[in-house]
Amino acid sequence: MKTLVTCALPYANGPIHLGHMVEHIQTDIFVRFLRSQGEQVVFLCADDTHGTAIEISAEKQGITPEKFIEQVSNDHQAVFRDFQVSFDLYSSTNSPENQHYAELIYNRAKEAGFIGKKAIEQAFDETANRFLADRFIKGECPNCGTKDQYGDACEKCSATYGPKELKNPYSVLSGKTPVWKTSEHVFFQLPKHEAFLKEQLAKPGFMNPGLATQLQQFFKKGLADWDISRDGPYFGFPIPGETNKFFYVWLDAPIGYISAAEVWAKQTGKAKSALDFWAKDADARIIHVIGKDIVYFHCLFWPSVLEVAGLKVPEKVHIHGHLTVNGEKMSKSRGTFINARPYLDVLDPNYLRFYYASLLGPGPEDLDFSLLEFRQRVNAELVNNLGNLANRTLSRGGDHLPKLGKTLSPANEALGGQLVRDALAKVKDIAAAYGAFDHRQAIKLILEIGYSANQFLAKAEPWKSAKTDLEAARGVLSEAAEIVYLLTALLDPVVPALAQKLAEQLNRPKLTFKALQTATYPLLDRNVPIGEALPLITRIEEAVVAKLVIAPKEEPKKKEAAPAAAPAGPAAEIEFGDFVKVSLRAGRVLAAVKVPKADKLLQLSIDLGEGAPRTIVSGIAEAYQAEQLVGRNVVVVANLKPRALKGIESRGMVLTSGPGGKDLVLLDPGDVAPGTEVK
C-alpha cells in the first residue's frame, strides 16, 4: 500500500515564516519515519496561487500574476529545501493538471446534480471594476463605531455582521464607496452530503475528536450551499460553460493535492496517474496535514467534493496548532514575526527541527517559540546529551587518541548487553510516537536512551582503565558506540543531516526503523572500522538567537520632543511641580540583546503603548540575561532626553533599585498594559 502525505498549500502571496515551518517540519519528520519503516511514501506540496489577493499583489509590482507566483514559488521551494523538507515534488495550483482535475471534478458534481445557481448581492467597486470580497471592504463598525473595520467582524468589540451593515463603507482598492450589485453565483450543494459527512467525521482516526465535535455545529445550524464561483476579473480557472466566472480559490486549492500527484506520476513514471492514489479503489491511503484554522475546508467541503467526484476520501487529516513567539502571536510590529529565510541566515535548521519536534504533540494545541527555551533545550538536549555522547564515545575510539585505533572490540554481552537491550526496548514506542505525530514523546524516549548511555560511561569510567588496560577501555566505548549507532535511525526523521554525520563517523550506513524491528544485540559489526569523529553540532549562542527578534527598523517619533527636567542636586528638595515633569510609564520588554563590547549594557526594545517600540539601552547586563527580560514589565522614564550609548540612541531609562552591578533589581509595575502611567 502506498501512502500519499501532503502539507497544506502555502498561499503564494508572501514568504514562508516559522509558523509554516511547524507544519512542514512535523510532516517531514512523519514522512521520513515512514520511509525509514520501509513504507512507500510520496510527500507532496504545492503553492496555492489563485485569488484576488495574488492578482493585486502582482499588479502592485507591475508584473503578471504568473510571473509573481513563479518568483514566490522559487523562494518557497528554496526555503523548504534548506530546512531539509523532503518533498517528492513541490507543485503549483496554476498548472494544466490542476485545471484538468478542477474541471473534471466540477463536471462530475454537475452531472451528479450537486451544482446549483443563485443570485447574490455583493459590493462592487466601480473604479476598480470588480466585486469586493469582505476583506476588501472597510468601514465603521455598526455596533461600536470603530473605524477601518473589515466587512465581517469588529476587532474592537468583536461584533459580527455583514459587509452591508458597515457604516460609511469604502473599497480598500480605490477608497471609493462601493455600490451593491447582484450576480449569479455557482454553488456546491453541501446539504446533500449531510449523512455522508456525519459518517465520515465519526470514523476513528479521521480527525481530532474535539474538532469533529465542533464541526457538529454546522449540522445543527444546517449546512448551507457553498459558493464556489467568483466574478472576473479573477486570477484562477474559468468555470466551464459559464461566462466571466472563475472557480473560487478554495475549490481548486485542495485539488492541487491531486494534480501534484499527477505531475509527480508524469515526471517520475512511478505511477500511471494521480488516480493510482485517488481512485476510490486505489491501494493507497491519503494523509493531509493542516493547521486548525482550515479545518472545515478539509473536513467538510473537501471530503464532499471528493465523494461526489467518485474519488478517494483521505484516511486522516492531521491537525496541528499555531506558533506563538515568546508567548504571543507573531507580530510584525513587535519584531516577533520571524520569516524562515532570516532564520536560516543565522541558524542551523537542525536546531529548529529538533526544537519543534521536542514540543509537538499529537493534538491541535499551539506551541511557543520561546527564544530562551529554544536555546536552552537545544543546547542541553541535542548538543550536550546526544551530540556530546557521540563525540565522547567516538573521538576516543577514533583518531583522538591514536593508541586506541579505529577498530572496535568484540561484542561483550556482559558489559553492554543490558544497555543496548534497554534501548532497543524503547524503539517500538518511539516508532509508535513518530507514527502518531507525537514527536515530543519520541524525543523524550530518545533522550532517555542518551541519558542511559552517558550514565553507562560515567559508571564504567573508561578514561581511568585506559591508563592501565587499553582493551578494557576500548570495550566500554565500543558498547557505547552501539547506542550512537542506534541514534542514526532514531534521530534520522528529526535531524537527518546529523544522523547522516553520525553514520559517516561510524563509517556505516544509517540504521533504519525497518532494520530495528528485528535487530538484536550487537547492532554493530565489530569487524568494520569506524571513521573519524568530529563534534556533531555546536551550541546556540545567545547573541545569535537575539538577532531573530530585534525589530529591523524603528521609526523615530518626532512628536515627543522630550522636555528636559533640570537636574536637581542629589539630596536637594524639589518642588512637586518638578516631580510631575518626570513621565513614568510601564513598559513591556519585547526584545533584548547584549550590546557588543560593553559588559553592563543591554539594548532593549520596549513597548510603551505608542505603536512603535522604543530602543532603550540599560546598564543591567550583569544582573540580568537578555532573554529572561523578554515579556517582562518594567518602569521607564519616558521623557528623558535621548542619549547615545555605545553609538546606540537610547530613548528613555529603565528604573532599578540596588547598589548596581550584579546587585540590582528591576522595578516591576505589575501586570498592567504597556504605556500605563506610573505615579
Partner RNA sequence: GGCCAAGUAGCUCAGCUGGUUAGAGCGGCGGUCUCAUAAUCCGCAGGUAGUCGGUUCGAGUCCGACCUUGGCCA
Provide the binding-site residues for RNA, judged by CB under 7 A.
152-153, 158, 160, 190, 210-211, 213-214, 216-218, 221-224, 226-227, 292-293, 295-296, 300, 321-322, 327, 329, 359, 361, 363-368, 370, 373, 376-377, 379-381, 383-385, 387-388, 390-392, 395-396, 400, 440, 447, 451, 454-455, 457-458, 461-464, 535-539
Give the whole-angstrom CA distance, residue 258 versus residue 102.
10
Closer residue to RNA, CB minimum distance, 223 or 550: 223
CB of 446 to RNA, least distance (A): 11
Q: For RNA, which is the closer residue by CB, 174 or 388?
A: 388
Dihedral sign computed on CA atoms, order 200, 203, 208, 210: positive
Relative to beta strand 40-47, strand 89-92 is parallel
Nine cell digits for residue 4: 500519499
Phi, psi of 328 (to 5 degrees): -130, 160
Count the Cβ atoms, other than its own, within 10 Å of residue 77: 16
Contacts of 118 (CB under 8 A, 6+ apart): 184, 185, 187, 225
Q: How far is the CB of 536 from RNA (least distance, A)?
A: 3
Return the number of the residue (299 or 617) whose C-beta is nearest RNA.
Answer: 299
Nearest distance from C-beta of residue 629 to RNA, angstroms: 13
- For residue 254, the minimal CB distance to RNA (Å) is 14
C-beta of 363 vs 435, nearer to RNA: 363
Q: Quick one: 261 or 540, whose CB is closer to RNA?
A: 540
Cell 459559464, residue located: 242
**Phi and psi at residue 419, to the nearest 5°:** -55, -50
Residue 71 or 538: the one with the smaller Cβ distance to RNA is 538
Whole-number minimum distance, CB 679 to RNA, in Å?
A: 25
Sequence letter at residue 421 = R
Query: Comparing C-alpha atoms, which of 197, 193, 191, 188 is closest to residue 216?
Result: 197
- The angle subtended at Cα 103 by Cα 98 and Cα 104, nearest 5°, is 95
User: Would the CA dihedral through 207, 211, 216, 221 be positive or negative?
Assistant: negative
Q: What's the rounded Cα separation, in Å, for the pair 351 and 328?
A: 21
Backbone angles phi, psi at 247, to 5 degrees: -65, 130
Residue for grid cell 537527518: 496
Q: What is the β-pairing status of strands 245-247 and 284-291?
A: unpaired
- Count of Cβ atoms closer than 10 Å to residue 3 Cβ: 19
User: Which residue number, 69 or 109, has a Cβ lying nearer to RNA?
Assistant: 109
The CB-of-290 to RNA minimum distance in angstroms stands at: 11
Query: In the structure grid, which three cell numbers stand for residue 176, read together?
Result: 471609493
What is the nearest approach in angstroms of RNA to the Cβ of residue 151? Answer: 11
Min separation Cβ 648 and RNA, Å: 27
Q: State which residue, 246 or 264, has the beta carbon closest to RNA.
A: 246
Instruction: Give the CA angle between residues 232, 238, 240 to the nearest 5°.
Output: 130
DSSP letter at 163 equals G
* Minimum distance of RNA from residue 508's CB (angstroms): 18
**What single string gives the DSSP state of each residue in 467-498?**
HH-HHHHHHHHHHHHHHHHHHHHHSTTT-HHH
In the complex, least distance from residue 370 CB atom to RNA, rounded to whole angstroms: 6
DSSP 254-275: HHHHHHHHHHHHHHH-SSSSTH
Q: How far is the CB of 552 from RNA (least distance, A)?
A: 24
Are 150 and 171 in contact, with CB atoms under 8 Å apart? no
CB distance 127 to 323 below 8 Å: no
The minimum distance between CB 659 and RNA, in angstroms, equals 19
H or E stretch covering 121: strand 115-125
Of 395 and 603, which has the nearer Cβ to RNA? 395
Which residue, 296 or 579, has its beta carbon nearer to RNA? 296
Nearer to RNA among residue 280 and residue 464 (C-beta): 464
Taking the complex as a whole, how short is the minimal distance between the CB of residue 419 and RNA, in angstroms? 13
Place of cell 503549483: 92
Report how far residue 540's alpha carbon sits from residue 450's, in angstroms, rounded to the nearest whole number.
20
Say if CB 508 and CB 486 are below 8 A apart: no
How is the beta sheet containing 179-188 ordered, strand by strand? Answer: 130-131, 115-125, 179-188, 226-227
